[in-house]
Amino acid sequence: MDSLTKHDPYADALPPIEKYQAMYNEAKSIRGISLWQDAWRRLRRDWVSMTALSFLVLLALAAIFTPLFPLQSPREQDLANRLALPPEFHSTTKRANADGEKETVPVSLKLKHLEGEEFDRRVSELWTDPTGFDKLLLNTRLLIFGDYCLPSLCGTDLLGRDLLSRLFYGARVSLIVGLVATLVSLIIGVSYGAIAGYSGGMVDDFMMRVVDIMYSVPFIFLVLFLITILSEDDVKQWLESYGISRIVILYIVIGAVYWLTMARVVRGQIISLKNEQFVDAARTVGASGLRIVFLHLVPNVMSIVIVYLTLTIPAVMLFEAFLSFLGLGVEAPAVSWGVLAEEGLKVITPVKIYWWLVVFPALALASTLYSLNFLGDGLRDALDPRMKNR
């Protein structure tokens, strides 16, 4: 408004400035409900979605702050004393005492009386070189809980490692793979779809033909192929010299598979939006094509993109599990839920079922995917324009 008053040469020919000021104030006083606020209002009333959402938020927080919890080490094996134990509420191990006799002690980190180099060594034994952020959390945890560890509420695995702790650390990997890979698919899909939709004509035709072709490419097979190849040593080393590790490849490759539908959806939306007035307005003031697409159009398709996103994450996480099943997932010592479920599945035999090894990872995976699915459904309903103001 200010700029208008200052530079308008025809100011005299217009009604007095006060009138504009009044109109402006009036406009300001109306608090329009944006689509987002409206959707949020509706979502809040849907208890299923809200439960799912809260679960996911808690899960994400738990994954981020995992080192803060008094968990056992996800790495340390105790073959002699804690091999494949079912869930228990009181965890003990045997340790030789000063007299050389074995005595039963509760499981602990054995960090308390260590200092300096020995302390660092023990930390890296327990957590495989934690990053700076994790170290901070770990130190806080040590301050609060000391050597205390939660008992193995989910049992221990076949090398005597605590499953609960492995599940928590696995959540980090699984969620990150799910999120980042989806983000990759989002970036590719949205830009591709938006550009195709906005350009129209030949470009659109061609770009969508490419998508059609790609629908017929058995990506799963190419991905398997690609990952086997990229896991090959010289390729891996070459990539690592650029700072790309295997897990990054995993994100990119999985993301690159799941962008097709996203691109189609976004294109459809952009086409219906691109002749709207606000686009014309932007064009009139001389905004470039790219600017219009990414600053004006894309934000307007975000609602549908977000719905689609909540449905892509489960697909990606399942895909990660599938890769783990084939032994192509993340590599030890990192774990993911898929890897854990696969390890558990391997020991399902008629002779003995280490049920906790497969039930807990499956439960973790299923409840997360469940929540994502419900949240997706809820969001779709909430963001449905036909439901507005209801």
Partner 1 sequence: MIYFLAKRLMWLVITLWVVFTISFFLMWTVSPEGALLSERQLPEAIKRNLEEYYDLDKPLLTRYFKTMGNYLMFNPGPSMKLIDKSVFEIVSEGLPISISLGLLGLSFAMLIGFSTGIISALRRQSLIDVSFRMIATLGIAIPNFVLAGFAIIIFVFGLNLFPAAGWGRPINLVLPSLCLSAPFAAYISRLTRTGMLEVLGQDYIRTAYAKGLMPTTVVLKHAFRGAILPVVSFLGPATAGILTGSLVLERIFFIPGLGSHFIEAVQQKDHPVSLAVVMIYTFLLFSMNTLVDLSYGLIDPRVKLDK
Partner 2 sequence: MKWSIRGLFPYVFPLIFVVALFFALRMGSLPPADFTFSNGTEPQTIDPAKSTGAPEGRIINAIFEGLYRNMPDPDDPNNMIPMPAMAKSHDVSDDLKTYTFHMRDGAKWTNGEPVTAYDWDFSWMRFLHPESGTQYGYQLWYIKNAKRYTTGDIHEGDRVEVELADRKDRAQMFPRGTMVSGILKKVNTYPEGAAKSDDAGHGGHGEGESTYKIYTVDCVPEKDGKPDWDGKTTERVFYQSGTPQVYLDKHPGAEEAMHVLLHFSEVGIKAPDEKTLVIELESPTPYFLELASFYPMHAINRTCVETFGYPDWTKPENIVTCGPYQIQERRIRDRIRLKKNPTYWGADDVKLETIDALAVQSNTTQLNMFMSGQMEWATDIPNPVLDDLKEMDKEKKKEPGRENESDDLLIAPMLSTYFYRVNTNRPPLDNPKVRQALNLAINKQEIVDFVTRGGQIPAGSLVPPGITGYEGPPTESYDPERARALLKEALGGKKMRPIQILYNTSEGHKSIAEVIQQQWKQNLHIDVQLRNVEWGVYLTTVREMDYDVARAGWIGDYPDPNTFLDMFVTGGENNETGWSNKKYDGLIESARSEADPEKRFAMLREAEEILVDEMPILPIYFYVSINMVRPYVKNFYPNLQDLHPLHILEIDEEQREKIREWEGLE
- Contact residues toward partner 1 (CB under 8 A) are 209, 212-213, 215-222, 224-226, 228-229, 232, 235, 261, 314, 318, 321-322, 325-326, 338, 341-342, 344-345, 348, 350, 353, 358, 362, 365-367, 369-370, 373-374
Q: Which is nearer to partner 1, 72 or 371 (CB)?
A: 371
Q: Which is nearer to partner 2, 160 or 178 (CB)?
A: 160
**Contact residue for partner 2 among 66, 67, 72, 76 (CB under 8 A):** 76
Residues 44 and 178: their CA atoms lie apart, in Å, by 25
Residue 69 identity (one-letter amino acid): F
Q: How far is the CB of 322 from partner 1 (least distance, A)?
A: 7
Residues 388 and 390: their CA atoms lie apart, in Å, by 5
Q: Which is nearer to partner 1, 250 or 293 (CB)?
A: 250
Q: Which does 233 bind (CB under 5 to 8 A by kind): partner 2, partner 1, none?
A: partner 2
Is there binding between residue 86 and partner 2 (CB under 8 A)?
A: no
Cβ–Cβ under 8 Å, residues 163 and 360: yes
User: Counting runs of H as helices and runs of E as strands, what totals does the chain give?
Assistant: 17, 2
Residues 209 and 61: their CA atoms lie apart, in Å, by 42
Residue 314 identity (one-letter amino acid): P
Cβ–Cβ under 8 Å, residues 305 and 379: no
Cβ–Cβ under 8 Å, residues 363 and 335: no
Q: Which is nearer to partner 2, 99 or 117 (CB)?
A: 117
Q: Which does 121 bind (CB under 5 to 8 A by kind): partner 2, partner 1, none?
A: partner 2
3-state secondary structure at position 324: helix
Q: Which does 374 bind (CB under 5 to 8 A by kind): partner 2, partner 1, none?
A: partner 1
Cα–Cα distances (Å) from 189 to 199, 262, 298, in that order, read 15, 5, 12
Stretch that binds partner 2, among 19-27, 143-151, 293-301, 345-353 (CB under 8 A): 345-353
Give me the 223-262 binding string for partner 2, x by CB under 8 A, dash otherwise.
-----x--xxx-----------------------------
Cβ–Cβ under 8 Å, residues 58 and 380: no
